[in-house]
Structure 1
Amino acid sequence: KDMLVNNKDGILNWFDEHDIAVVDRGFRDSTGMMRALELDVCMPDFLNGRRRFDALEANRSRFTSKIRWVVESANGRVQHFKWFNQTIQNSTIPQVRDYLQIACALINAYRAAAISSFSNDDRIAAKMLACFHEPNLLRILLNNETL
């Protein structure tokens, strides 16, 4: 949130109006600020005391999680470096960007690409979108049956 408020490193120049910010629940305190900056925020839903999501909420959360997989996969690759897989001391914050650039350069130079094929992307996306508004048939069946 502080990075957005103070425009650290010119971060606001990275965004255009109505860009989509796909975030995890750890950013829940920043979503208001992101929306005020006219970003469209996608974050998995919270149960808020309920036992389960309705079908639409569950599908929306699944969509967000599937998109976030790409980010988490990249984070996992960086965390293979021992230094990044621990709590980082505040005194090293000024160097973190340099260390991250070095780690990413090494990953790009010596590791296989995280995603090797994009040939099915459109087909998979179309199938996901087609199923988005599908009801939870198992839940309906269980609600209608007396067990």
Structure 2
Amino acid sequence: MAEKGKSAAQIGTMAFWYGGLGTFSNACIAKLVDGEWQSIWFSASSVVVALVASGIVWLFSRYGHSLEYVKYDAMLGREIAHITKAMSHNGISDEARKRWQNQLEAALEKRASAERDIANGTVDLNKLGG
């Protein structure tokens, strides 16, 4: 799997580069074998597609979030949805509602600091089950 700190976008960028350059080098070998320039032009166009795709992926990696953050945020979102659903039930005691409210506030605080916590390494998704 991915190294710690690698985002999905970075992994995708590497895959596009290796795929495009691998296709191009295979076409150059094919040119030496069969002498057809068409395979070279086809591979050159695949490299252009790979470059454009890697540019798009780079934009996501530059302005997006890491895969760990997305997983942690989704986990917190599920937790918040569960708490909100539990609080919406009629007939729960004030004491139970207060406990749910405290849990909701704690989850919202975790979500607000999630990106910083992931960057600092204070959150371990393996221990959290994410």
Query: What range is the shorter-chain TM-score in?
Result: 0.3 to 0.5
Name the TM-score, length of structure 1 as normaliser. 0.31
TM-score (ref. length: structure 2): 0.34
Structure of higher CA gyration radius: 2
Q: RCO (CA 8 Å, sep 6+): is it higher in 1 or 2? A: 2
Structure with a larger share of its residues in strand: 1
Give the structure with the larger helix fraction.
2
